[in-house]
Amino acid sequence: MKQCEMLVIGGGPAGLSAAIEAAEAGVKVVIVDANEKAGGQLFKQIHKFFGSSMHRAGIRGMNIGQELLERCEKLGVDIWLNSLVIGMYKDNVVAIDVKKNLTEHKLEKIQAKKIVIATGASENAVRFPGWTLPGVMGAGAAQTMANFHRVLPGKKVLMIGSGNVGLIVSYQLMQAGAEIVGIVEAQPKINGYAVHASKLTREGIPIYTGYTIVEASGDERVNKAVIAKVNPDWSTEPGTEITLDVDTITIGAGLKPLIGMSYMGNCHLMNDRFLGGWAPCHNYSMETTTKDVYVAGDASGVEEANTAIEEGKVCGIAIAQALGYLEEDKAEQMKKEAWGRLAGLREGAHGAERTAAKERQLLEYKKVMEG
């Protein structure tokens, strides 16, 4: 069985940032990533990020991904690609299905002194008659197809959900040449930032607030969508149906943290709807209730890439400190700075709920540890 100092599960913004901070202090890091290229969702984030110059604001996500990969390479971080973690066991042992080539796989086991769970999140589905038809897909899936694989999923797209994912992916599908037939939002108001919505409305894209999808239909793939006004009790208002010609329906209904590893690692989980559901609680070092197991990014509660990067940094610093690579004073100062940047990113009306939810996680950790 292989041994390592620090094992990071998932090479997205959180995992890469954790690896970089720790490796800079001298920790030997292994990252395992399920995909052909590390970077998580960053390479499909072709838009400029919010934040301040401290968080690389105004830079496109894909360029941030490239920068993080280059820094990992320089620091000698060992990145295992095409490597699926299938389980986590006692004594910090992780089993990995490593794809050697198209047909050959090998099972590897690694034991690590410290583990970072940075597995990210998965998309929520919405069910309606016809949702299993070809052409109906997650907004994130459509974004991967268009921006990463450069395949346009369809020409006439209806987006379900007006959160930032729904708005940004609609904009990007339009940049890629698709027509956005409309954006449907069951709530009475747009969920994401107004600036993202305004980018679409000034191109003439209708946003149907207070509407929901009733049905999708088609023979070989979806070719019609019916939407209608929603009543407060979630029934639809008869007579308000609108039929739209579409070839694609994308669902941007939010994300939920991937908790498989946290559960297997015996980390205490709590349910909080502002963080996407179940997620492990943790302390100021991002360590879970299981000693030596840390969590960062969407796996610790769904937020966005900038917060994932900062949480990853906290993990990396804390691990370098725990392994004796960073002096306590310096590490505490660095962690404090990262938490300061996190507080900045969680400011504003959209961040207040997340800030409160994150505080609940920290409190829960205390409660559990104090028994």
Partner 1 sequence: MKLSETGILTKADLVEMGRYPSEERMKKGPVAVAECVQDIPCNPCETACPFKAIHIGENISNLPKIDVNKCNGCTTCVSACSGLAIFVLDKSYSDSYGKVTFPYEYNHSFKVDDIVKAANRGGKHVCEGKILKITNTQKADRTTVITLEVPIEYVDEVRSIYRDKQHQSSKEEIMSEKLADDVLVCRCEEITAGEIREAIRQGATDITGVKLRTRAGMGLCQGRTCEALVNQIIRQELGNSPADIGFSTPRTPQRPVTFGTLGGDLDE
For residues 279-318, which are near partner 1 according to CB under 8 A? none
> By C-beta, is 75 or 242 nearer to partner 1?
242
Binding residues among 1-40 for partner 1 as defined by CB under 8 A: 1, 34
Beta strands 121-123 and 255-257: pairing type?
antiparallel
Q: Footprint of partner 1 on residues 149-178 (CB under 8 A)?
A: 162, 174-175, 177
- To the nearest whole angstrom, how small is the minimum distance from the Cβ of residue 320 to partner 1? 27
111, 91 in Cβ contact below 8 A?
Answer: yes
Looking only at residues 78 through 137 of this chain, which bind partner 1 when binding is defined by CB under 8 A? 84-87, 89, 95, 97, 105-107, 109, 122, 124-129, 131-132
Give the whole-angstrom CA distance, residue 83 versus residue 331. Answer: 31
- Judged by CB under 8 A, the residue of 243, 333, 356, 363 near partner 1 is 243
Q: What is the size of the binding site for partner 1 (CB under 8 A)?
A: 90
Q: What letter does residue 63 receive in the DSSP assignment?
A: H
Cβ closer to partner 1: 29 or 85?
85
Smaller CB separation from partner 1, 28 or 256: 256
Q: According to CB under 8 A, which residues from 330 to 349 bind partner 1?
A: 344-349
| Tokens of residue 287, six digits | 């360590």
- Rounded least distance, CB 89 to partner 1, Å: 8
Interface residue with partner 1, options 35, 37, 63, 67 (CB under 8 A)? 63
Sign of dihedral through CA atoms 146, 147, 151, 155? positive
Evaluate whether 285 touches 294 at the Cβ level (below 8 Å). Answer: yes
Question: Do 297 and 118 form a contact (C-beta atoms < 8 A)?
Answer: yes
Q: Choose which of 68, 77, 214, 314 interacts with partner 1 (CB under 8 A).
A: 214
Spatial CB neighbours of 307, under 8 Å, sequence gap ≥ 6: 297, 342, 345, 346
153 vs 276, beta carbon nearer partner 1: 276
CB of 348 to partner 1, least distance (A): 4
- Tell me if 279 sits within 8 A of 258, measured CB to CB: no
Measure the CA–CA gap between 77 and 42, rounded to whole angstroms.
19
Q: For residue 309, what are the CA distances in angstroms to 65, 120, 365, 367?
A: 11, 12, 22, 27
Does position 363 bind partner 1 by CB under 8 A? no
State the nearest-atom distance from the C-beta of 179 to partner 1, in Å.
Answer: 5
DSSP per residue over 90-139, as a string?
A: GGGEEEEEEE-SSS-EEEEEEEEEEEEE---EEEPP---TTTTSTTEEEH
**Contact between residue 40 and residue 13 where contact means Cβ atoms under 8 Å apart:** yes
- From the CB of 8, what's the least distance to partner 1, in Å? 16
Cα(369)–Cα(371) distance, rounded to whole angstroms?
A: 5
- What is the smallest separation between the CB atom of 86 and partner 1, expressed in angstroms? 4
> Residues 183-212 vs partner 1: string with x where CB under 8 A?
-----xxx--xxxxxxxxxxxxxxx-xx--
Q: Which of 24, 67, 78, 215 binds partner 1 (CB under 8 A)?
A: 215
* Closer residue to partner 1, CB minimum distance, 232 or 238: 238
Least distance (Å) from partner 1 to the CB of residue 116? 16
H or E element, residue 181: strand 179-185
Under a CB-based contact definition with an 8 Å cutoff, are residues 314 and 286 in contact?
A: yes
d(CA 155, CA 196): 21
Q: Which of 3, 26, 58, 336 binds partner 1 (CB under 8 A)?
A: 58
Nearer to partner 1, 235 or 327 (CB): 235
Residue number, 266 or 285, with CB nearest to partner 1: 266
Segment near partner 1 (CB under 8 A); pick from 255-263, 279-287, 295-303, 309-317? 255-263
Q: Nearest approach, Cβ of 214 to partner 1 (angstroms)?
A: 6
